[in-house]
Amino acid sequence: MIASSLVIGQRNPVYSVLLLIASFGALSGLYIQLDAPFVAVIQIIIYAGAIMVLFLFVVMLLNAPQEDAAEWDRAHPLRRPGIARFGAILAVLLVVQLLWALTDASDLSGPASQVGDDGSIRTLGRILFTDYMFAFEATSILILVAMVGAVVLAGRSDQR
């Protein structure tokens, strides 16, 4: 949690990405505590392995590590300290409101129930390929569309 709060505090995006990997590692530890080893493993593989490498690649490719502070940026109305302080107060209010709502739901604090299914990969795969078959196939279409879209968007347009 500390790592992910440090993520948005960094001016250099490389440090943000590395801290986010630490935060995802902590989250996968929480998943293991929740008897979800499959989710923990794909958290590490997909997020820390694939997505963060993609982010690091783009950060290093674009070669703009520091946030640029142009003079029109300084003069932007949203950069005045009073409005920034107002935004920070709004964020703190969001945290307080969520915590208040969660502590109010005190009947949820019972122990976790164990009904039949464990979080094993066998059970997960059986349900994934029977009950969620259509969603699974739609996900494959989504990945294909995203891949084509990424190639089209990032491709050089001056070769046409």
Partner 1 sequence: MIPLNAYLIVSAVLFAIGTAGVFMRRNVITILLSIEIMLNAVNLTFVAFGRWLGTVDGQIIVFFVMTVAAAEAAVGLALVIALFRHRESLNPDAFTSLKW
- Give the separation between CA 91 and CA 85, rounded to whole angstroms: 10
Is 133 among the residues that bind partner 1 (CB under 8 A)? Answer: no
Applying CB under 8 A, among 71, 153, 159, 160 the residue interacting with partner 1 is 153
Q: How far is the CB of 50 from partner 1 (least distance, A)?
A: 7
Which alpha helices (DSSP H) does 8-131 contain, by range? Answer: 13-33, 37-42, 52-62, 71-74, 81-104, 121-130
User: Among 29, 85, 88, 89, which residue sits at the site for partner 1 (rule: CB under 8 A)?
Assistant: 88
Tokens read off for 44: 């590490």
Task: Tell whether residue 75 is a contact of partner 1 (CB under 8 A).
Answer: no
110 binds partner 1 (CB under 8 A): yes
Q: Does 135 bind partner 1 (CB under 8 A)?
A: yes
Residue 111 interacts with partner 1 (CB under 8 A): yes or no? yes
Distances (CA, A) of 155 to 119, 129, 143, 147, 152: 41, 35, 18, 12, 5
